[in-house]
Chain A
Amino acid sequence: MPPQNTGAEFGKLTNVDQQDAGEDASKQSSKASVFVNTEPMREEQVQNAVKFLSHPKVRGSPVIYRRNFLEKKGLTKEEIDEAFRRVPDSQPSEQTAGANQANTPDIQRPAQSQALQPGVSGSAGVTTLSRTSSRYSFHWSHALVAVGFLVVSGAGTAILIKKSILPRLKSWIRKIVLEEEYNQLESTDSKPTVVEEASKAAKAAAAAAVELAKANQEILTCRNEEKRYFLDAVSLLNQQMQEMKLMTNEIRRLEGNLEILYSSLGQRISNSMNSEGICIFLFRIHVVGKFIFSLLENDGGFASSSGASYSRREDYQVNQTSSKPFIVNGKRDYGLHSVTSSSQPASVEPSSAPHPKSYMEIMAMIQRGEKPSNIRDIDDSPPNPNQQPSNPRLAPRAKPWEVGQVQHNSTPVFQSQVNGKDLNSSVLDNSDNAVPRWQAKNARIREIDNGVENNGYNAASSQQPIKRTWVPPQPPPVVMSEAAEAIRRPKPLVQKEQILDDQSVHHSSDISDKVMESSELSKSEGQMEGSSTNAVLGSAEILEES
């Protein structure tokens, strides 16, 4: 019995039932259509999608990934479906279109000719023929355009040839003629040139010899210089060697001092750390070892076991964040970003967020195949798979947003607490009178009504004490679960709701003016003035209110 709030709607309901059903059905469908895309198809997007789907690589991928790609690009379902329709070979209906095309000559795609299905129904044939005819017109116009283009290009090339190549030929011929004349002239001067060439060669040889001599001299000087530099470098290296020796001696002395320090602190620290902490510290110590005295700022030393081993750990890369004291199970070292596997999809998301240290450890353990030790074998199967849930002790409560709105549910509720506003005592009177009326209807409610307590309502909390005023009726147990009905029979569901609506209408059919009044009231947030009228009307009004 969903409440109706607006007077207009109530006016509709007082009319014939069928009209109501029709109107409400259309209202329902119009409401449902809010969640449907109403945009027209965008041709450009569809064509882009067709190009995408026609790509050979895309053809090989599963259909669902193709759809998902297009969805990600923002195409609506209609556009995607249209693109799939336009691209051949992706739907079986497209292959039958190819079968019809095989009969006609000339323009065919070789892929379509492969899929031949002789048994094609008449209607499919008609539709495919229309499609093929559209394709044919496509092809013809394409052919015409291609032919025209070829003709034009042929003419163009012919003209070009005439204009450009012929003059070139002529000039080439002229060149040849001129060269021949020139050669004839030159042949008379051939003999004296031999002598000249010989003299030239001799001069060149002499010059080359001179250059060689110069180069040799330069090489000699360079070598001398190199020798000097080499000697200098050797001496410098010797000096450095000596300095390094001095430094190593110093370092050894300091190391000795540190070991004494660590061993004195190691006992205290190793007791308070777990192995995780020790790991961290071993890493830290390698880095910190370079800055010998900064280690003393931290709150501890290291485990006494690894005396000199830390110096050998040279491959770890650790970001040293700060010198905060290390708290077990508290703030963690976010320096390790090494492991980002994707064994679970959830871990792909935070790949940019720094993971807690032990998260990384657990991932590493699992990658290695180890199981964390704290997992128990738990049998969580239901001891009685047919166990019925216990009866509810409380009736469902209205949501804050449902106050004063139309609902399409069958369990109307009255919200007893609205943002801590006070409830009039008149409401309580109404509820007391209303309850027995509804109680008579359904025995279950009596049970709930008696059981309704201020259970869990803490007066000590900052909220005002709540008093349950009115218990809504439970739907009759005979009614099937609405969800199941909704899925199977959408239309009857609407009518069923209408029947329930009508029932509520009958109860309050004689108080139309009161309802108008209360419908105005319901627009305010659950205020209850003016509802304190007759008890008989009270329940219906409460219905209107909620």
Chain B
Amino acid sequence: MPVFKTPFNGYSVKFSPFYEDRLAVATAQNFGILGNGRLHVLSLSPNPSQPFTEIAAYDTADGVYDVAWSESHDSLLVAAVADGSVKLYDTALPPTSNPIRSLREHTREVHSADYNPLRRDSFLTSSWDDTVKLWTLDRPSSLRTFKEHSYCVYSAVWNPRHADVFASASGDCTLRVWDVREPSSTMVFPPHELEVLTCDWNKYDDCIIATASVDKSIKVWDVRSFRVPIAVMNGHGYAVRKVRFSPHVRNLMVSCSYDMTVCVWDFMVEDALVSRYDHHTEFAVGVDMSVLVEGLMASTGWDELVYVWQHGTDPRAP
């Protein structure tokens, strides 16, 4: 299984929704504390001696914390940069023309970016300045700013079935569900006692959302009855950094944690842990499952490595 070594510490990895063999990796120097950043666009090749080819690499002045592929343009990327800017890159244009946009509105680090999979023309960015911003490609300024959280918003994710609904997970220990047509959030509840680092919607059931937190647990909720979680998954040794529901299997989800492992869970089963991958030697901070290839997953971490492997196989196998 291919391994790619990035010069900087990995922060996020995302598969392209257009090409089965393409993925983007967001990296930041010096663990993202202080330093430059780089956005890699990699292509998988069947050639075993050179499993990865780098289609493009873009340097940024500050670390890149997250990346999102456009759903409308196969070559467009949105990068969430630690200096508060949101940058758009087009891999089809020559590197000297990139970035094509630098949107500067957030006042603090931009932690996540997510593209609307239904409307395909807008995207969200969430930042440590407690806000979530909605943008479209054709406008130089944001359409809306959602300011209700009282601490860093670590993640904002669109609902895959409702084009105007999204959820945001914040360090103020709450999860908020928003509708862009409403002036304020439509739901708010505290899924964890500690900071909520990530959230993701279930792709097959539009009311199910998973959250994970510093308290090392992953909880799956039905927003219609949010007092009690559907499932609680413990098993990580440290804070869980990211969760993603599988695009192909209803109950499957993947998570990565500061305990350097990537775990796959089935939340409808009593013994939820399906598999555990401990290929990283530092914090595993980014994980993704491909929407085009069933079972293909990628992860990255502070050990500067990007692994791409098929669920059920060993990521470190050659």
Alpha-carbon distance between A34 and B121 when the two chains are bound, in angstroms: 24
* In the assembled complex, A223 has its CB within 8 A of some CB on chain B: no
Chain A residues in 8 Å Cβ range of B109: 344
* In the assembled complex, B27 has its CB within 8 A of some CB on chain A: no
Q: Are B102 and A420 in contact (CB under 8 A)?
A: no
Alpha-carbon distance between A37 and B182 when the two chains are bound, in angstroms: 14
* In the assembled complex, B22 has its CB within 8 A of some CB on chain A: yes
* In the assembled complex, B126 has its CB within 8 A of some CB on chain A: no
Chain B 21-47: CB-based contact to A (< 8 A → 1; otherwise 0): 110000001111111100000011110
Q: Are A482 and B121 in contact (CB under 8 A)?
A: yes
Alpha-carbon distance between A181 and B122 when the two chains are bound, in angstroms: 107
* In the assembled complex, A389 has its CB within 8 A of some CB on chain B: yes
Residue of B nearest to A36 (CB): B186
* In the assembled complex, A65 has its CB within 8 A of some CB on chain B: yes
For window 246-260 of B, CB contacts with A under 8 Å fall at: 247-248, 258-259
* In the assembled complex, B190 has its CB within 8 A of some CB on chain A: yes
Chain A 335-350: CB-based contact to B (< 8 A → 1; otherwise 0): 0000000011111111
Alpha-carbon distance between A82 and B177 when the two chains are bound, in angstroms: 20
| Number of cross-chain contacts by CB at 8 Å | 268
Chain A residues in 8 Å Cβ range of B60: 378, 380
Chain B residues in 8 Å Cβ range of A388: 100
* In the assembled complex, A362 has its CB within 8 A of some CB on chain B: yes
Q: Are B121 and A352 in contact (CB under 8 A)?
A: no
How far does the Cβ of A225 sit from chain B's closest Cβ, in whole Å?
62
How far does the Cβ of A190 sit from chain B's closest Cβ, in whole Å?
81
Chain A residues in 8 Å Cβ range of B177: 35
Report, as a range, how many residues of chain B touch the other chain.
35 or more
- Known: A353-B258, A356-B302. Is A71-B102 also a contact (CB below 8 A)? no
Instruction: Count how many chain A residues have C-beta atoms less than 8 Å from C-beta atoms of the other chain.
Output: 85
Q: Are A380 and B102 in contact (CB under 8 A)?
A: yes
Alpha-carbon distance between A379 and B85 when the two chains are bound, in angstroms: 13
Alpha-carbon distance between A241 and B127 when the two chains are bound, in angstroms: 68
* In the assembled complex, A104 has its CB within 8 A of some CB on chain B: no
Alpha-carbon distance between A375 and B172 when the two chains are bound, in angstroms: 32
- Known: A387-B100, A399-B247, A400-B203. Is A379-B61 also a contact (CB below 8 A)? yes
* In the assembled complex, A530 has its CB within 8 A of some CB on chain B: no
Q: Are A378 and B172 in contact (CB under 8 A)?
A: no
* In the assembled complex, B214 has its CB within 8 A of some CB on chain A: yes
* In the assembled complex, A490 has its CB within 8 A of some CB on chain B: yes
Alpha-carbon distance between A155 and B98 when the two chains are bound, in angstroms: 90
* In the assembled complex, B50 has its CB within 8 A of some CB on chain A: no
Q: Are B185 and A411 in contact (CB under 8 A)?
A: no
* In the assembled complex, A381 has its CB within 8 A of some CB on chain B: yes
Alpha-carbon distance between A74 and B188 when the two chains are bound, in angstroms: 8
Q: Are A374 and B174 in contact (CB under 8 A)?
A: no
Q: Are B136 and A483 in contact (CB under 8 A)?
A: yes
Q: Which of B18, B76, B152, B189 contacts A389 (CB 8 A)?
A: B76
* In the assembled complex, A487 has its CB within 8 A of some CB on chain B: yes
Q: Are B138 and A481 in contact (CB under 8 A)?
A: yes
Chain B residues in 8 Å Cβ range of A457: 20-21
How far does the Cβ of A456 sit from chain B's closest Cβ, in whole Å?
4
Q: Are A396 and B160 in contact (CB under 8 A)?
A: no
For window 175-211 of B, CB contacts with A under 8 Å fall at: 177, 179-181, 184-190, 193, 195, 197, 203-204, 206-207
* In the assembled complex, A316 has its CB within 8 A of some CB on chain B: no
Q: Which of B33, B151, B187 contacts A37 (CB 8 A)?
A: B187
* In the assembled complex, A496 has its CB within 8 A of some CB on chain B: no
- Known: A483-B136, A486-B181. Is A390-B186 also a contact (CB below 8 A)? no
* In the assembled complex, A461 has its CB within 8 A of some CB on chain B: yes
Alpha-carbon distance between A376 and B149 when the two chains are bound, in angstroms: 34
Q: Which of B17, B119, B188 contacts A77 (CB 8 A)?
A: B188
How far does the Cβ of B279 sit from chain A's closest Cβ, in whole Å?
14
Chain A residues in 8 Å Cβ range of B136: 481, 483-484
How far does the Cβ of A161 sit from chain B's closest Cβ, in whole Å?
55
Alpha-carbon distance between A41 and B71 when the two chains are bound, in angstroms: 40
Alpha-carbon distance between A460 and B47 when the two chains are bound, in angstroms: 9
- Known: A72-B174, A409-B120. Is A419-B294 also a contact (CB below 8 A)? yes
Q: Are A74 and B227 in contact (CB under 8 A)?
A: yes
Q: Are A349 and B214 in contact (CB under 8 A)?
A: yes
How far does the Cβ of B80 sit from chain A's closest Cβ, in whole Å?
13
Chain A residues in 8 Å Cβ range of B184: 77
* In the assembled complex, A455 has its CB within 8 A of some CB on chain B: yes
Alpha-carbon distance between A37 and B176 when the two chains are bound, in angstroms: 11
List chain B positions with a Cβ less than 8 A from chain A.
17-22, 29-36, 43-46, 58-61, 71-76, 81, 87-88, 90, 92-93, 96-102, 109, 116-122, 128, 134, 136-140, 143-144, 149-152, 160-165, 171-174, 177, 179-181, 184-190, 193, 195, 197, 203-204, 206-207, 214, 223-224, 226-227, 237-239, 247-248, 258-259, 281-283, 291-294, 302, 310
